[in-house]
Every structure is written in C-alpha cells, then in structure tokens.
Structure 1
C-alpha cells in the first residue's frame, strides 16, 4: 500500500502530452517519407489515436456542457479540412496526401457517446424518444458516409461541392482511423472500469495484428491509460486545437521545401 501511495500516476494533461509527442514523431514520418524518413518512425504513432480516444471519453464524461464540447470539435473538424485543402492548393507537395483530421474522429466519437447517453436515459422514462434519438446519433456517421460516397462518385457534381461535402460531413468513412472510431463508445460504456477498457484496446490491437497491420502497436496505449489517476492536471484547453493544425502546416511546408531543394 505504501508503494501505491508513492505512485503519482498520469493526469489527463499528461496523457495528452504523451499523445502529442508520439503524434509529432508519426507526422514527421508522414511528411518526410518522400525524403527517406524510416518506416519505423510510423510505429510511434500507432498508440496515439487510442490515447486521444480515451482522453475524449474522459473529457465528454466530465464536461459541464456536452453540446458546446461537440460544437467545438465540429468547428475544429471543418476548419482542419479547410487548412489541409489550402495547404495542398498552395504548397503543391503531391508526394504527401493530407488526410489528417483527428477532430473528425473525435467528433464522430462524441455522436456515438451522445447516442449511448440517450440509450441510458431511456431507463428513466420516455423510452421511445430516447431510443430513437440514440439510434439517430449512432446512425448519422454512417448515413453521411453513404451521402458522401454518392456525392463524390457523381460525375455531375462540381468538384467544389464534393470538397465542401468532404469537409463538413461527419462521415465515419472519412475518419482518419475509420471504423476504429467505434472504440470510443465502447470505452465510454465502460468509463468506470479501466480493466475492461484496457481489455477492449487489447482485443482491437489483436484484430489488427491478425490482419497484418502495424496498428496492433496501439496496445502500448494501455500503459499510460493504466497509469491514469483520474485527475485533470494543468488546464490547456485550446492548446491542442491550435497545435494540431499548426504542426501539420509547418511539417508539410518544411518537407515540401526540402524535397524541392533536394530534387
């Protein structure tokens, strides 16, 4: 017991810092791969999404205004789409395709969590309404995936409209981590049981491992998550919202500049 008391553990802030550091290494690989960045740098990024999924669950669970939390993520998702579009149009670094938008994954995750809240609320009455809203929240990312596919695949639709649709639609098909986003509502369901949360992460990692994907390395996210002490830590509410697009832009521009210099 004395040893346990000495172990401080990791706060939500600490988890985000770990996630940001690993994310930057991963994006260095992404941007500088055409210049010879080694593939093993990509391994550092595999636990990142899982760490941010977990902190999103924590954030959504404790926020005083879930609506504003969701609105903030949606606005960030749209702005990030605009940032990547502008970068590709102005920098013209065709060797790297910018699909980066973790805000889309996290916003879709909040829709799933909102759906879970509705299903839980159904126990307290007005079941038809809550269950219907729950199904709607869960279905929206899949509905928009179908709509987006139809718009993007239609030859009669102008390119600008297609780009706008991709930017504003919370389609799980467009999510950076695709169906792995489904891990978010599962972590939310068991937000009070860290053992089951870690088991869910391990099972997901196993499935990726069996498919031959390096995403199985997400299992290492269990280490910081297991050490999470339930505390918020220093408040830097908007740091990640600013740092994420900023570091993508800087790395993308720098890689493009060096690539042109070398070639």
Structure 2
C-alpha cells in the first residue's frame, strides 16, 4: 500500500529541506572548525540529522530528475572540485593537526550510483537485457571494490601515491564521511513509495547507533540523533519549491573552505 504523503501547499518543500539541512550543517561545521578554540560540543548535535536528510533529498532528486546520468555527473564533478579545493586550502592554511576531509559529494555520488544501479537491474530484468543487469550490479559494488583496492595500496609505502590519486578520482565507500551508512540512502530509495517505512528504517539505524554506547549518548555517541531527520521528512509535501540548485552546490564547498580559513587565521594568531 502506498502511504506516500499527498502533495499540497502545506508542509516543507524540497527547497525548505535543503535550507534546513545546510543551516544545521553550518552550525555543525562551526564546531568542527573551531573546536580547538573551545566551540561547545553540543553544536555537533545539529549536524547528526543532516546526512540522513540529504540522503532523503537525493532519493527525491534521483526519482524526479529527467537526466539521471547528468545528475551523477554533477555529483562526481562536485566530488573532484571539493577534493582539489581541500588540497589547495590546506596547502596555504593549517589548523593544528586537523585535516580537511569534508566531501559530502562522495556520499551522495555513491548513494545515487546505487539507486542508478538498482534501476538498471530492474530495467534489465524487464527487458531481459543481461548487460544492463551486470552494469547495475557494478554500479552498486564498484565503490566497495575501489575501497578495498585503495586500502590495499595504502598498506604499501611504494603504492601510497597511486592510492591517493585513485581516492581523489573515484568516490569510495570506506573513505566517505558516512562510510557504510551511505547505503541507508539505498534503503530509502527502495522504500520511496512509503514514507512511514522510510522513517522506520531511519529509526532502526538510529537505534543501532544508540545501542553501541548508551552511556555516551550525549557525549561520545551522538550519531543516533540522526533520528530527528524524521521530523522534516514527515512534514515534506512532495513539492520541489524554489530552484537555486546551483546555490546549494556552491554553498557546501564555499562554507567549508571559508570556515577553515577563518579558523586557521584565528588559531595561528592566538596560538
């Protein structure tokens, strides 16, 4: 039974979800960049639902886009640009021993690639096209295979450079910010016609995280707070809302680099 919430004027649009996501993400990254200077750890709480919220948005984006290949290409280009920018920013600025590893495009690319793979498998089965099924399987497993290859190369000093180049050119699951949790997006895609089941899946993953360290649920183990993404997801009305897609693509790297540079200047001046 389809329990997808009906579209209407009330509720949150995709645009609203994105604004909410980048707002919480910005607060979270203030803590990340200024933690060495005493930024309170509770600021990090705001960021825990963000990845889950963007996974949900990526499902909506992939489902409704007319050109799925272009969607993937844009995410891959974002991944490349972010890697280059991170390298350049760290070349000219430093923030203690903190490395600049942020790249949500890695997670989103792998998430959307898995959705694309599922669609290829489905279409291949329907059309009895074995080649499409193979392509679909490769789309799903390739980021995992590349992860294993990169880690294998990194264990040998003589192959460290090829490992880094490979990691900079192709998104790999185990080097992504959310690692295996990326595939929550795949689950949300499979459940895309049932909003309540999507929320249940999020709650289950959140409960699993909470169970890892119940005593540290507000200190060392806060990933369970991803469950709060359920609130805006339930309020989502299925409408796109305003555009400004390019703004969101630009905001992510711009705010990361700007916060890192500001924090670097302040930290190195004070310490």
TM range (shorter): over 0.9
Q: Using the alignment, how far apart are the partners of 2:7 and 2:244 within structure 1? A: 27
1:241 pairs with 233, 249, 253, which one?
A: 249
Gaps of 5+ in 2: 1-5, 214-220
Residues 148, 169 of structure 1: 8 Å contact kept: no
Give the aligned partner of residue 58 of structure 1. Answer: 60
Give the aligned partner of residue 40 of structure 1. Answer: 42
Output one character per residue of 1:131-153: Cα deviation in whole Å (capped at 9) or x when no partner.
32221111111111011112222
Residues 28, 47 of structure 2: 8 Å contact kept: yes
Residues 154, 163 of structure 2: 8 Å contact kept: yes
Q: Using the alignment, how far apart are the partners of 1:119 and 1:62 within structure 2? A: 19
Between 89-98 and 14-23, report the one with greater CA deviation: 89-98
Q: Using the alignment, how far apart are the partners of 1:5 and 1:42 within structure 2? A: 33
1:115 Cα deviation from its structure 2 partner: 1.3
- TM alignment of 1:63-82, pairs within 5 A: 63-82=65-84
- Structure 1 residues 225, 5: closer, same or farther in 2, change over 3 A? closer
Residues 7, 237 of structure 2: 8 Å contact kept: no
Output one character per residue of 1:24-76: Cα deviation in whole Å (capped at 9) or x when no partner.
00000000000011111111100000011010110000001000000000011
Aligned length: 259
**TM-score if structure 1 supplies the norm length?**
0.94
| Counterpart check, 1:210 vs 2:189 | no
Give the aligned partner of residue 26 of structure 1. Answer: 28
Q: Using the alignment, how far apart are the partners of 1:53 and 1:131 within structure 2? A: 24
Between 49-58 and 126-135, report the one with greater CA deviation: 126-135
1:134 pairs with 130, 133, 136, which one?
A: 136
Q: Using the alignment, how far apart are the partners of 1:112 and 1:6 within structure 2? A: 30
Residues 73, 106 of structure 1: 8 Å contact kept: yes
Residues 115, 135 of structure 1: 8 Å contact kept: yes
SS of 2:32's equivalent in the other structure is helix
Residues 210, 223 of structure 2: 8 Å contact kept: yes
| Counterpart check, 1:201 vs 2:194 | no
- TM alignment of 1:148-187, pairs within 5 A: 148-157=150-159, 159=161, 161-187=162-188
Output one character per residue of 1:149-175: Cα deviation in whole Å (capped at 9) or x when no partner.
12222211264x443222112110111
What is the CA RMSD across the aligned residues, in angstroms?
A: 1.7
2:261 pairs with 253, 258, 263, which one?
A: 253
**TM-score if structure 2 supplies the norm length?**
0.91
